[in-house]
Amino acid sequence: MHYYRTQQGSEVVYTINPRILHEEIEKKINDKKLTRINVCRTILALLYGAKLDEEEDFYITTTSSGRRNYHVKVNNRTLNSISRIL
């Protein structure tokens, strides 16, 4: 999901919902080792491995039930950093 944040100027922010991502991956790969926790860890490994700064390039929100969503600000620097690791 993506949306435009207008509080700090116009920027595009993509939201990664691990629950939905897990469900989509599970449709293609049926493995007992695939868990939501592993999906969350993989997302964090990608973000930190690309040397993105928390709060500057991405941020994490938590729902009242404890679920997390990852929000990545999309700009040239973040795209270049992520593409280098992939």
Query: How does DSSP assign 30-85, residue by residue?
Result: --TT--HHHHHHHHHHHHHHTTPPBTTTEEEEE-TTS-EEEEEEESHHHHHHHHHH
pLDDT exceeds cutoff 90 at 41? yes
What φ, ψ does residue 10 adopt, rounded to 5°?
-85, 120
In this predicted structure, the answer to whether residue 69 has a pLDDT above a threshold of 80 is yes
- What pLDDT, on the 0 to 100 scale, is given for residue 11? 77
Residue type, 39: V
Q: What is the pLDDT of residue 52?
A: 95
**Share of residues in the chain with pLDDT > 90 (%):** 66
Q: What pTM value is reported for the model?
A: 0.81
For 18, the token pair is 């691990």
